[in-house]
Amino acid sequence: DAMVIQNPRYQVTQFGKPVTLSCSQTLNHNVMYWYQQKSSQAPKLLFHYYDKDFNNEADTPDNFQSRRPNTSFCFLDIRSPGLGDAAMYLCATSVGQGDTEAFFGQGTRLTVV
Amino acid sequence: GESVGLHLPTLSVQEGDNSIINCAYSNSASDYFIWYKQESGKGPQFIIDIRSNMDKRQGQRVTVLLNKTVKHLSLQIAATQPGDSAVYFCAENRGPAASYDKVIFGPGTSLSVIP
């Protein structure tokens, strides 16, 4: 009964080659988040959608884009991955009332070669 | 800038002892706080939460304390077990509104339980 599903769990991409990570949810939550987590660090919020409204964090590089075609799916596009983009990418959802937790997927581990 | 941070990056405790993990936050407007547990290779898992109108909340073996005066919260784990070994993050949700409804993480504490 997985609620936030990320595919694939492991992704290897070439330096500079566009890559897309996928996330789906069965919770019907309004908010979907993308976080980047590097080794021994906290998850860092890249951006989030509140329904169809896209909210970018000020320090998120332009190299990172996102799409949310419907309530259930959200994608993270990395246009030109660099070695520094190797990380765990976490997708999460929340109801969107400001006083509820975020539910996380298991993450996608991205390797850039 | 605004941040949620931790006092101790690592914590080692003996099995059966109580653990206390601390967290400081700087945004006085934050009104909801969450503790997450993250095991290696997995996504963060919800442990317990607390709203800003509360000082204390208890769950099964865990207690969260919130001191709004000094912008500090803590997670207490009673009778720590080897399965509690993980990284613990405090996080805050800054309130409902399209741009504000987001969960921001502190730097984390790695808890190691000694059998």
Residue B52: closest C-alpha in chain A: A99
**Cα end-to-end distance, chain A, whole Å:** 34
Q: How many angstroms separate the most distant Cα atoms in chain A? A: 40
Q: Are B40 and B107 in contact (CB under 8 A)?
A: no
Listing DSSP states for B24-59 in one string gives EE--TT--EEEEEEE-TTS--EEEEEEETT-SEEE-
Residue among B43, B91, B104 whose CB faces A90 most closely: B43
Q: Is B31 on the interface with A (CB under 8 A)?
A: yes
How far is the alpha carbon of B105 from chain A, nearest alpha carbon, in Å? Answer: 6
Tell me the pLDDT tens digit for each residue of A29-83.
Answer: 999 999 999 988 999 999 999 999 999 999 999 999 999 999 999 999 999 999 9
pLDDT at B107: 83
Q: Is the pLDDT of residue A89 over 90?
A: yes
pLDDT of residue A97: 77
Chain A contact present for B1, CB below 8 A: no
Residue B101: phi and psi, rounded to 5, are -75, 80
Asked if residue A95 has pLDDT above 80, the reply is yes
Cβ distance B21 to B111 under 8 Å? yes
Q: How far is B33 from chain A (nearest CA, A)?
A: 8
Look at residue B1 in the predicted model and tell me its pLDDT: 35
* Number of independent structural domains in chain A: 1
CATH of the domain at A70: 2.60.40.10
The Cα angle at residue B55 between residues B49 and B57, in degrees rounded to 5: 40
* CA closest to B107 among chain A residues: A42
Quote the CA–CA distance of A79 and A111 in Å, as a whole number: 15
Q: What is the pLDDT of residue B96?
A: 60
Searching chain B, which residue's CA lies closest to the CA of residue A48?
A: B102
Q: Which of A53, A96, A101 is opposite residue B34, by nearest beta carbon?
A: A101
- Residue of chain A with shortest Cα separation from B44: A104
Q: How many CB atoms within 10 Å of residue B78?
A: 14
Query: What distance in Å separates the CA atoms of residue B61 and residue B79, rounded to the nearest whole number?
Result: 7
CA dihedral B99, B100, B103, B106 (to 10 degrees): 110
Full pLDDT tens readout for chain B, 115 residues: 334 544 448 999 999 999 999 999 878 778 899 999 999 999 999 999 999 899 999 999 999 999 999 999 999 999 999 999 999 999 998 766 655 678 899 889 999 999 9
- Interface mutation target, options B54, B101, B104, chain A, most CBs of A under 10 Å: B101
Q: Do A105 and B100 touch (CB under 8 A)?
A: no
Q: What's the domain range around B61?
A: 4-114
- How far does the CA of residue B22 sit from the closest CA of chain A (Å)? 15
Specify the number of domains making up chain B: 1
Residue A96 belongs to domain spanning: 4-112
Residue B98: the pLDDT is: 54
Q: Is the dihedral of CA B34, A90, A57, B2 positive or negative?
A: positive
Q: Check B46 against A103: CB less than 8 A apart.
A: yes
> What is the pLDDT averaged over residues A94-99?
82
Q: Which residues of A touch B93 (CB under 8 A)?
A: 94, 98-102
pLDDT at B6: 42
Comparing C-alpha atoms, which of A26, A104, A33, A107 is closest to residue B98? A33
